[in-house]
Structure 1
């Protein structure tokens, strides 16, 4: 058994949701956050949507890394695309994010952005062979990344390996000089943090700094449109006649969800992540309530069956005592089947007809003028049809024409 959380970056922020945040507006796909296990499939889905409409596609990104396998799937999707794809680093391309940008020749970075390169890492447990297998996989991945970096930068293997041996931070200009990016562009956010050394801060804090800048929008009473940066616009697809169907979480949509689902922990001004989290919690709560109701239903049905089985057994035991005989196993099963399928009332009726010999019903014969009047015209009916069409007539037959009743009964249950 082996455990391999293959992330190019550990120390993942615990508060992050388990999905990268994707947004689409026109020909732009925005991807912010950690690359989690299933984000590769989501990325391919969104990219395919854009490829069906546009030949020029822009991907805006901000990530400090994540799943190697999901990241590789994303890289492969870009490399095989027929569209002309431009990647813009809005803040940080660290770890697997640095490998991701190598999938396109057209890569731009904001002038206060960073790229961070290091070797893949993972955790594992198991026996010696398990650890050796994990180590082999990491070496294969490291070689793959080394080859890509050598091809992109023209540097020697020793130089690239030196980058991978540690967390190698590159400013926008350094990334341009090495050929990792093709252009440095003005930042789409106003820098409010003082200068800092990324190596001393770490990729998580660098990510958080940029995330706070990129997703913060003033809250004036007037339209937010004039305050929006390009990065924010990619998430906030403001409603227009052409793009209403693509609208992401705006306040109206969030309020509709909050009202419809009775979410009490968020409001229309809460972040998208908070609303999504509240929705997921609501779903979890409803599923828990459903499981509780199903369990209660199963328990009630079991108790009801136990009660009915007890009544059936008591009726059969009472009939056996009244007849002064012991029913065979087959007889008991037949009577139990009658009680279970037709009800205890039908079972009681059966035992009334067999508990003592029946004398001819003279009064019935006098009243009807014919002892077989109950079944007249119904000779082809079986026991089930009598139960369905004329249960009272079946009761009369049991007392007035017991032999016919027994024949029908035996035909059904024996």
Structure 2
């Protein structure tokens, strides 16, 4: 049986951090492994670090169940093979941060976020084959993809699962995003998550 690790909930919290996931990958070096992802995202830098660890391992299958948004969609780009359940969604957008300080502090943070966005766009571009400029446009718009759209745009290699039941979306108030799909909002509401 293939070793499998579930990454559910926020990236960077609990066991969803680079050291814990890196330890799992190191324990299974040279062996095929599976990461099952259902996360609304989290700390962007941790998503990037996990993506690098997955790339270094080289034999990871990522399976998206429910949702892989923000930092979670970034980390799955490191997998050798990406599969998305037919009822799941992926989302890419510009990284964000909370910052407090002077006008100069805020300008500096905006510059840093622009650099992060460019770095992440290059990672999505490398994984999908799309030009960086196109990916940046999708990120700026906050682009949500169904499983079929993700496959058509090369964000995944395959769609699996023929029914639409799948796994419930990761617990989160999805109204905090710019443009969540109505299906995600309905699923979250039905599970008693987020705003009504």
Report the count of equivalent residues.
180
Counterpart of 1:215 in structure 2 is none
Equivalent position to 1:49, from 22, 27, 34: 27
Alignment of 1:160 with 2:141, yes or no, is: no
Counterpart of 1:259 in structure 2 is none
Equivalent position to 1:117, from 89, 92, 96: 92
The offset of 1:166, in angstroms, is 2.1
Give 1:9-408 correspondences, 5 Å limit.
Answer: 27-36=3-12, 39-51=17-29, 55-82=31-58, 84-186=59-161, 190=165, 199-201=180-182, 205=185, 208=188
Mapped contact 1:90–1:187 kept (Cα < 8 A): no
Q: Deviations over 1:43-78 (max 9, x none)?
A: 222222333xx6111111111100012212211111
Q: Distance in 2 between matches of 1:116 and 1:95?
A: 6
Q: Distance in 2 between matches of 1:66 and 1:112?
A: 22
TM-score by structure 2 length? 0.79
Mapped contact 1:91–1:210 kept (Cα < 8 A): no
Report which of the two has the higher share of helix: 1
Change (3 A) 1:97 1:210: farther
List gaps (5 residues or longer) in structure 1.
1-24, 213-414
Q: Distance in 2 between matches of 1:207 and 1:72?
A: 28
Mapped contact 1:92–1:206 kept (Cα < 8 A): no
Change (3 A) 1:201 1:189: closer
* SS class of match (1:132): helix
Q: Which of 1 and 2 has higher RCO (CA within 8 Å, sep 6+)?
A: 2
TM-score by structure 1 length? 0.39
Mapped contact 2:36–2:63 kept (Cα < 8 A): yes
Mapped contact 1:64–1:207 kept (Cα < 8 A): no
Report which of the two has the higher share of strand: 2
Q: Distance in 2 between matches of 1:137 and 1:99?
A: 18
